[in-house]
Amino acid sequence: MEAALLSDLYARAQRERRPLISFEFFTPRTAEGDRAFFDRTLPALAALRPGYCSVTYGAGGSTRDKTLGVVERIQNDYGLPAMAHLTCVGATRAQIEDLLDDARRRGIRNLLALRGDPPEGTTAFEQVPGGFRYAHELVTLARGFGGFSIAVAGFPEGHLECREGKRVDWERLKAKVACGADAVITQLFFDNAYFYEFRDHLVDRLGVRVPIVPGIIPIQSAGQIRKFVALCGATIPPALAARLEALATDDAAAAEFGIEFATAQCVDLLRQGVPGLHFYSLNKALPVTRILQNLEGSGFSLGRPAGGS
Ligand SMILES: Cc1cc2nc3c(=O)[nH]c(=O)nc-3n(C[C@H](O)[C@H](O)[C@H](O)COP(=O)(O)OP(=O)(O)OC[C@H]3O[C@@H](n4cnc5c(N)ncnc54)[C@H](O)[C@@H]3O)c2cc1C
């Protein structure tokens, strides 16, 4: 059976007035990581019947085959729709075309089209000769291929490198969507006010009509969050910073707090009618499982389909 398209999944969830729940995974780097992921994490999270799963694409295209392989396995072994992340890093247009052909042969129909983060050890994105500079070029190429539903990244606080300010970044996001994207998935954030300002600006001022889906990260430790924030530029509100400081030496307590914090964030977002929740699972089953249980316990019907489609 053909995998469902992201555009259809969001449209159906919207018709049924339920949020579409999605989980993001990264590809494990070691044999031990592989075992933990395939033997425990993936079965546990697939059992929650998310609307779809997505799989990241490592720096420099290093995970190309692995990303496509994990997406295929999620689709084939678990019957869940899945999405492959794809970046412009280190690849020529011809190489990206090969990858799109490969994805299509494997029955992969959903892509998150990204510019990509610079490879480890470097700080700036470098366009390769014959390659792309911005994600919108990748969206245009994939759209031209046909048969793919495409999501793009959005930044509620503006992209870190956009010196002209967040509103200019959001104008560029609008243009990127216009190249053929079906959904926007956001970078993590810890104050929902940033998300609402971003969403309202895109919808009310810029006329963006595709689902704008918040990305949620369950905090696992103070150190982990400091690292992520340094990479993506998200703001840690003072009250959260103080709490994380107090939990700096107790990772178990920080993770427990992270579940509470993400639950509260999701409750507020669901009340504001978001079309879905995209969880950065960090390949851990427990936090996301607990957050979804909390949401259902608070009366939210997440309507996760039994068959995953
Ligand atoms: C949900 C999600 C998943 C992600 N998954 C991955 C992953 O799997 N692998 C990975 O490597 N990274 C991933 N990232 C990170 C992403 O690759 C980086 O944030 C990257 O720095 C920007 O990617 P983009 O697709 O938003 O780029 P773009 O949309 O190309 O934007 C990059 C910068 O260029 C600017 N810009 C865009 N268009 C123009 C233009 N026409 N003229 C001038 N400036 C312009 C923008 O304002 C922005 O500052 C993910 C991010 C998110 C939110």
| Residue 24 annotated among the catalytic residues of the structure | yes
Domain total in the chain: 1
SS3 call for 113: strand
Task: Check whether 306 has a pLDDT greater than 60.
Answer: no
Q: Residue 127 maps to which CATH number?
A: 3.20.20.220
Residue with the smallest CA separation from ligand 1 atom 10 is: 116
Residue 299 domain flag: no
Q: Treating both helix axes as pointing N-terminal to C-terminal, what angle do 166-178 and 135-145 enclose, rounded to 10 degrees?
A: 10
Residue 52 domain flag: yes
Residue 308 domain flag: no
Task: Check whether 308 has a pLDDT greater than 80.
Answer: no
As a whole number, mean pLDDT of residues 248-273 equals 97
pLDDT class of 118 with cuts at 50, 70, 90: confident
Residue 307 domain flag: no
Q: Which atom of ligand 1 is closest in space to residue 117's alpha carbon? A: 11
Q: Identify the pLDDT of residue 309.
A: 41
CA of 151 to the centre of ligand 1 (A): 12
Which residues surround ligand 1 with Cβ inside 6 Å?
56-57, 59, 85, 87, 112, 114-117, 134-136, 153, 159, 161-162, 169, 172, 176, 185-187, 215
DSSP 123: -
Q: Identify the pLDDT of residue 207.
A: 98
Q: Identify the pLDDT of residue 123.
A: 77
Taking alpha carbons only, the member of 162, 240, 165 closest to residue 197 is: 165
Residue with the smallest CA separation from ligand 1 atom 3 is: 153
Q: Identify the pLDDT of residue 119.
A: 75
Distance of CA 38 to the CA centre of its chain: 20
d(CA 56, CA 106): 17
What is the domain extent for residue 59? 6-294
Residue 268 domain flag: yes
Q: What is the pLDDT of residues 3-24, one digit of tens each?
A: 999 999 999 999 999 999 999 9
Q: What is the dihedral of CA 274, 275, 281, 285, to 10 degrees?
A: 100
pLDDT class of 78 with cuts at 50, 70, 90: very high
Q: Which atom of ligand 1 is closest in space to residue 155's alpha carbon? A: 53
Alpha-carbon distance values, 236 to 114, 153, 189, 227, 245 (Å): 25, 20, 8, 12, 11
Residue 165 domain flag: yes
Q: Compute the radius of gyration of the chain from its Cα atoms.
A: 18
Q: Which of 2, 16, 24, 197 is catalytic?
A: 24
As a whole number, mean pLDDT of residues 242-248 equals 96
Q: Identify the pLDDT of residue 60.
A: 64
Distance of CA 80 to the CA centre of its chain: 16
Q: Identify the pLDDT of residue 300.
A: 94
CA of 114 to the centre of ligand 1 (A): 5
Q: Identify the pLDDT of residue 303.
A: 74
CA-CA-CA-CA torsion sign (199, 204, 205, 210):
positive
Q: Which atom of ligand 1 is closest in space to residue 114's alpha carbon? A: 25
Find out whether 55 and 85 touch, Cβ atoms under 8 Å: yes
Q: Which atom of ligand 1 is closest in space to residue 278's alpha carbon? A: 1
Residue 303 domain flag: no
Q: Identify the pLDDT of residue 117.
A: 85
Q: Identify the pLDDT of residue 61.
A: 63
Q: What is the pLDDT of residues 172-185, one digit of tens each?
A: 999 999 999 999 99
CA of 163 to the centre of ligand 1 (A): 14
Q: Identify the pLDDT of residue 307.
A: 46
CA of 58 to the centre of ligand 1 (A): 14
Q: Identify the pLDDT of residue 122.
A: 79
CA of 139 to the centre of ligand 1 (A): 12
Q: Identify the pLDDT of residue 224.
A: 94
Find out whether 185 and 153 touch, Cβ atoms under 8 Å: yes
Residue 1 domain flag: no
Query: What pTM, to 2 d.p., does this model score?
Result: 0.97
